[in-house]
Amino acid sequence: MSYSCKRITTSRRRFVLSSAALLLAPKASFAQKPRKSAIRFGLTPVFLNDDLQLLSVIRTYLEAATGYKIDLTTRRTYQEVTALLISGQLDAAWICGYPFVKYRTELDLVAVPQWNGKPLYQSYLITKTDRNVTELSDLAGDIHAFSDPNSNSGYLVTMALLHKNELNSETFFEKTLFTYSHRNVIRAVASGLVQSGSVDGYIWEIMREIDPDLVAKTKIIRKSEWFGFPPIATSRQFADSPKIKALKAAFLASNNTEDGRAMLNYLRLSGFTQAPSSLFDPVAQNLKSLKGVL
């Protein structure tokens, strides 16, 4: 693909995403007029975005650390948050590695969370605890739950694995469905609504602490290779803005204050770090392997 073609493709994609963002979030586009003293920060369902206490913890810390008012925006799907971010309606957002890779040219990394001291996480294939299955091939004919079509751990990893094994999700599984939340994938598997699911390993581990009864009904069949942890990204147009600089500094220094540690404790993270975009190359490789399939 030539450079010019790539530019055209990128522009078209940018236009589509911007339009989608306008259509999907008209309220946000008017109600969230940029305010001089506010940082508009988006959260994807990578995290437990329906946890009001988490939102409060993040807001409290970031407002204290940046000196800006923090407007938190949550959306149901990754695509919605990504569209808002790319269209400039959000200053920064906590997105998944897959959208970051997908829109790498439009986005810039702010910080990458560290889990157990590393900016890495895995995708888990899970099923019900009482089910006698041990590997991917045992899941043939299942109803399988994905998290989000723009999730790395909750979709892309499993799709790439199937592709690598020369399998097709449409034929390998009886049916696939999206729950638009990793927690919902766990709920769907635990309840028996579906027989298996693809879930963010970090979320599964956190949920095991928060809701052990629910997670105990599921078991891991396969852990994927390590991927770059879902990063905090910003639109390249805001990358050098004072707000983003303040935000980056706040995340990187989150271990230094009480509020920051409270946030990290809540998220079971070690901290935030700066990482090169190459951290997400494995995601990019998966995406590349699925070119023409997705």
> CB of 21 within 8 A of CB of 60?
no
Amino acid (one-letter) located at 49: N
Q: DSSP 3-state assignment of 268?
A: coil
Can you tell me which of 55, 72, 143, 167 binds other proteins, judged by CB under 8 A?
A: 143
Q: Smallest gap, in angstroms, from Cβ of residue 187 to other proteins?
A: 8
Residue list 189-218, contact with other proteins (CB under 8 A): 191-194
Q: Smallest gap, in angstroms, from Cβ of residue 28 to other proteins?
A: 23
Stretch that binds other proteins, among 52-60, 114-122, 173-181, 248-256 (CB under 8 A): 173-181
CA distance 251 to 229: 14
Can you tell me which of 188, 207, 244, 263 binds other proteins, judged by CB under 8 A?
A: 188
Q: Smallest gap, in angstroms, from Cβ of residue 185 to other proteins?
A: 9
Can you tell me which of 28, 126, 145, 233 binds other proteins, judged by CB under 8 A?
A: 145
User: In Å, how far are 10, 74, 106, 138, 241 from 235, measured between CA atoms?
Assistant: 14, 17, 6, 42, 10
> CB of 18 within 8 A of CB of 83?
yes
Site string for other proteins, 100-139 (x = CB under 8 A): ----------------------------------------
**Secondary structure of the chain: what % helix, strand, coil (to 5)?**
50, 20, 30
Contact between 179 and other proteins per CB under 8 A: yes
Can you tell me which of 73, 123, 184, 198 binds other proteins, judged by CB under 8 A?
A: 184
191 vs 285, which CB is nearer to other proteins? 191
Q: Smallest gap, in angstroms, from Cβ of residue 183 to other proteins?
A: 11
- 117 sits in the region (left: phi over 0; alpha: psi -120 to 50; else beta) called left
Q: Smallest gap, in angstroms, from Cβ of residue 191 to other proteins?
A: 5
Contact between 73 and other proteins per CB under 8 A: no
Q: Packing angle between helix 52-66 and helix 242-252, nearest 10 degrees? A: 110
CA distance 113 to 121: 10
Residues found near other proteins in the complex (CB under 8 A): 143, 145, 174-175, 177-179, 184, 188, 191-194
